[in-house]
A and B are shown apart, each in its own frame.
Chain A
Amino acid sequence: MFGSAIRNIIKSSQNAAKFEAICAQCRHIRANRSIQSEADTIKSIDVATKPNDKELEPAPEHSSAVALDFGSREAHVPSFNLAAYVNSSSTLQQLVSLGVDLHSIERRKGLGEFVLRLDFEKNIKPCLSFLADQGIAPDDFGKMVTKNPLLFKEDLDDLQTRVEYLKSKRFSDEARQRIFTQNPFWLMFSTKRVDRRLGYFQKEFRLSGHDLRLMATKEPNLITYNMEHLRKSVFTLREEMGFSARELQSLIVRKPRLMMIRPDDLVERFSYIHKDMGLPHSQIVQCAELLASREFRLRERHEFLKLLGRAQYDPQKDLYISPRTIVLGNNFYFVRNVAKSDLETFDLFLKTR
């Protein structure tokens, strides 16, 4: 009797100690919650991510146990690159047979470890079959994964949503395939973010839906590019170079890549084309390739034509040379077909500069 009573007392005291600890935690959590509710904007995001975190946290340990299918002793041997593990890991071997360049993956921070934790059957295969369902040729998988292995981290439902979003924006099948193969980072962006960016371009340049789709398909990297940089380039194109709204519209639909070039370089090229070559804005818009070509190339070709007396870019007059052909092709093509001269003369000319 007495013993059991003591036991009960001890139990209850232990329980009380437990309860105390739990209560303290609860209080702590409540306090945290109250702080969150004050910062109400962050709260919704936090709540959404919390369960995810809980799910993710044990996952890497588990997957590492699966993915590193060599002995646990070898797993602790440090290595400088992924190549050390290729012979023992079937996942890495599968990636290599897909044509993934492990060397360029491991040079980027944290990606090597991420790839090592992947399991082919569990993480990679569903994603690849999803991509195959989108009509992407299996030959491109290697290139895509090399560019962005983090694609395997994304939830398949999210990816499906993003594809559906593009479908709803009436991107054709070919356009979507091109977008995903050219820029695997596109699928990492949430639909909200992509929508915001597409909206930015549409508003900024007053593009029609067709033109916007054309632009995004021509240069898919543009949509996921650094927004700060894009704003700077747009400012440069509009304010520093003085293209009108209509000219700007056709310029960027023709050559969306212009916005990804460093603004300083762009201004330098423009000033050479506009001032030294004497082309007006309207003609530059016609041949957007000129702005996409490096300045030294323009300079040596234009000056060679000037030396030959063939630098005549006015279509109204005789012996017109289209500015577009200047930047076309390699030096041999240029010298033979545009300058109608020979390569020795061109070489001699270049050596006087």
Chain B
Amino acid sequence: MALTKVYDATTVFRHLNGVLNVYKPAGMKVGHVRSAVLSNICKGLNELKQRDPRRLPENRPLLGTGTAADSVLHNIATSTDLSDDVLSTGPRYMPEDIRCAAVASLGQHTSGVLLLGINKGLRQSSRIQKNRPVRVYHITGRMGTATENHLPDTHITARSNHKHVSAERISGLAASMQASHQRKMYELCGVDLQTQAAYELACKGLIRPADNSLPVIYGIKLIHFERPYFTLELHSINETQEYLAALVHDMALELRTVAHCSQLRCIRHSHFDVTDSLLRHGWHLPGIVKNLRQQREILREHPQMLEQERVELHA
């Protein structure tokens, strides 16, 4: 099919379906991101070529004074329906006209990949959500100070020394935490660990939870260490920002120091990567349409994101 340029708002709106991958900046709530994206879409659509106002029906009863100078009569003769004009009905596209929902929410301080289902893409987005794909985070902790909610914007509650913490000790702890979390994962399945059923389940590899009640962590790895900052890569399902922040805090306590979470960044959500995500200055209609197309390609390459039969973890 030949590619053609589109100037028509209705055509664009009709094709505005799918999953959108935006880069959520830290310090901005998901609802805020959503409304910003939607209002930018509407702004773009309203700048495109609009449909003309309707025509009036032919045999319309004439109301008016009946004089020749009466503009009402004059307008009826031209038979455009002024009540359908953009000035009287308001803009053709408004944010409420577009259906939009986030696949999985991110906390206010978390930045990174945020998937938004738009219009008919809501079906896909809810299916992705039901499949509980893994999200990958890069979490930066800052040792030496603890804060009230383990995030950087609250009061400092404790300070401590962190000279004794080394990269080896952190990665050792990360490995042991990963092991205990994986053990917990099998326990959550509801099977006795000393049974044949549990053995067969374990043979399949890692398994995913059935509901979104409990967070499950599949891997923790230290990827960067530069005192007082350390960065963990973390694969998990059903996590929340508070849970991750508390995890960093608990890790630091194990290491005989205190820490808070200085940055949380979601770099991957299933196959949706941070490299494809749309930055804030790209949140305009052409960028959004292009991004929707890219994500459609990704969904086509990985159909198991929508139809998941197996219990074990893939991607």
Residues in chain A within 8 A of chain B (CB atoms): 69-71, 74, 81-90, 92-94, 96, 99-104, 296, 330-331, 347, 350-353
Contact status A69-B81, CB under 8 Å = no
Known contacts A104-B90, A351-B274; can you find 12 more A-B pairs with CB under 8 A? Answer: A69-B72, A87-B81, A87-B82, A90-B72, A96-B85, A103-B88, A103-B89, A103-B90, A351-B23, A351-B277, A352-B265, A353-B26
**Chain B residues, Cβ within 8 Å of A88:** 63-64, 72
Contact status A90-B88, CB under 8 Å = no
Q: What is the minimal beta-carbon distance from B249 to any residue of chain A, in angstroms?
A: 22
Contact status A83-B89, CB under 8 Å = yes
B286 at the A interface (CB under 8 A)? no
Do A331 and B82 form a contact, CB below 8 Å, given A81-B89, A90-B70?
A: no
Do A347 and B279 form a contact, CB below 8 Å, given A93-B82, A353-B111?
A: yes
Contact status B70-A83, CB under 8 Å = no
Q: What is the minimal beta-carbon distance from A339 to any residue of chain B, in angstroms?
A: 14
**Chain A residues, Cβ within 8 Å of B56:** 87
**Chain B residues, Cβ within 8 Å of A99:** 87
Q: What is the minimal beta-carbon distance from A72 to any residue of chain B, in angstroms?
A: 11
- Name A331's contact: one of B84, B91, B281 (CB within 8 Å): B281
B176 at the A interface (CB under 8 A)? no
The distance in angstroms between the C-alpha atoms of A262 and B72, with both chains bound, is 47
Q: Which 6 A-B pairs have the closest CB atoms?
A: A103-B90, A83-B88, A83-B83, A86-B83, A102-B88, A86-B82
**Chain B residues, Cβ within 8 Å of A81:** 88-89
B71 at the A interface (CB under 8 A)? yes
B161 at the A interface (CB under 8 A)? no
B27 at the A interface (CB under 8 A)? yes
The distance in angstroms between the C-alpha atoms of A7 and B265, with both chains bound, is 100
Q: What is the minimal beta-carbon distance from B137 to any residue of chain A, in angstroms?
A: 13
Per the CB 8 Å criterion, the residue count for chain B at the interface is 32
The distance in angstroms between the C-alpha atoms of A102 and B64, with both chains bound, is 21
Contacts A/B (CB < 8 Å), 19 sampled: A69-B65, A69-B72, A71-B63, A74-B63, A81-B88, A83-B89, A86-B82, A87-B76, A87-B82, A92-B88, A93-B71, A93-B82, A96-B85, A96-B87, A100-B87, A103-B91, A350-B23, A353-B111, A353-B265
B180 at the A interface (CB under 8 A)? no
B75 at the A interface (CB under 8 A)? yes
Chain B 132-156, CB-CB to A under 8 Å as 1, else 0, gives 0000000000000000000000000
Contact status B90-A93, CB under 8 Å = no
Q: What is the minimal beta-carbon distance from B85 to any residue of chain A, in angstroms?
A: 6
Q: What is the minimal beta-carbon distance from A307 to any residue of chain B, in angstroms?
A: 15
Q: What is the minimal beta-carbon distance from A203 to any residue of chain B, in angstroms?
A: 39
Q: What is the minimal beta-carbon distance from A145 to any residue of chain B, in angstroms?
A: 11
The distance in angstroms between the C-alpha atoms of A293 and B89, with both chains bound, is 34
Do A90 and B274 form a contact, CB below 8 Å, given A82-B88, A83-B89, A100-B87?
A: no
Question: In chain B between 205 and 242, which residues have their CB closer than 8 angstroms to a CB of chain A?
Answer: none
**Chain A residues, Cβ within 8 Å of B277:** 351
B44 at the A interface (CB under 8 A)? no
Do A103 and B71 form a contact, CB below 8 Å, given A331-B281, A351-B274?
A: no
Which one of A89, A92, A93 has the highest number of Cβ atoms from chain B below 10 Å of its Cβ? A93
**Chain B residues, Cβ within 8 Å of A352:** 265
B95 at the A interface (CB under 8 A)? no
**Chain B residues, Cβ within 8 Å of A87:** 56, 75-76, 81-83
B107 at the A interface (CB under 8 A)? no
Q: What is the minimal beta-carbon distance from A289 to any residue of chain B, in angstroms?
A: 19
Contact status B25-A70, CB under 8 Å = no
Question: In chain B between 44 and 101, which residues have their CB closer than 8 angstroms to a CB of chain A?
Answer: 56, 63-65, 70-72, 75-76, 81-85, 87-91
**Chain B residues, Cβ within 8 Å of A90:** 64, 70-72
Closest to B267 in A: A351
The distance in angstroms between the C-alpha atoms of A103 and B46, with both chains bound, is 15
Q: What is the minimal beta-carbon distance from A296 to any residue of chain B, in angstroms?
A: 7
**Chain B residues, Cβ within 8 Å of A351:** 23, 274-275, 277, 279
The distance in angstroms between the C-alpha atoms of A102 and B86, with both chains bound, is 9
Contact status A102-B72, CB under 8 Å = no
**Chain B residues, Cβ within 8 Å of A69:** 63-65, 72
The distance in angstroms between the C-alpha atoms of A70 and B56, with both chains bound, is 17
**Chain B residues, Cβ within 8 Å of A330:** 281
The distance in angstroms between the C-alpha atoms of A47 and B86, with both chains bound, is 45
**Chain B residues, Cβ within 8 Å of A353:** 25-26, 111, 263, 265
Closest to B63 in A: A70
Closest to A79 in B: B83
Chain B 255-282, CB-CB to A under 8 Å as 1, else 0, gives 0000000010100000000110101110
The distance in angstroms between the C-alpha atoms of A35 and B98, with both chains bound, is 59
Chain B 1-32, CB-CB to A under 8 Å as 1, else 0, gives 00000000000000000000001011100000
The distance in angstroms between the C-alpha atoms of A74 and B26, with both chains bound, is 54
**Chain A residues, Cβ within 8 Å of B279:** 347, 350-351
Q: What is the minimal beta-carbon distance from A180 to any residue of chain B, in angstroms?
A: 22
**Chain A residues, Cβ within 8 Å of B275:** 351
The distance in angstroms between the C-alpha atoms of A81 and B71, with both chains bound, is 22
The distance in angstroms between the C-alpha atoms of A303 and B274, with both chains bound, is 20
The distance in angstroms between the C-alpha atoms of A82 and B88, with both chains bound, is 7
Which one of B56, B65, B88, B274 has the highest number of Cβ atoms from chain A below 10 Å of its Cβ? B88
**Chain A residues, Cβ within 8 Å of B70:** 90
**Chain B residues, Cβ within 8 Å of A86:** 82-83, 85, 88
The distance in angstroms between the C-alpha atoms of A88 and B56, with both chains bound, is 12
Closest to B27 in A: A296
The distance in angstroms between the C-alpha atoms of A103 and B83, with both chains bound, is 11
Which one of A94, A99, A103 has the highest number of Cβ atoms from chain B below 10 Å of its Cβ? A103
Q: What is the minimal beta-carbon distance from A192 to any residue of chain B, in angstroms?
A: 36
Closest to B112 in A: A351
Which one of A83, A89, A100 has the highest number of Cβ atoms from chain B below 10 Å of its Cβ? A83
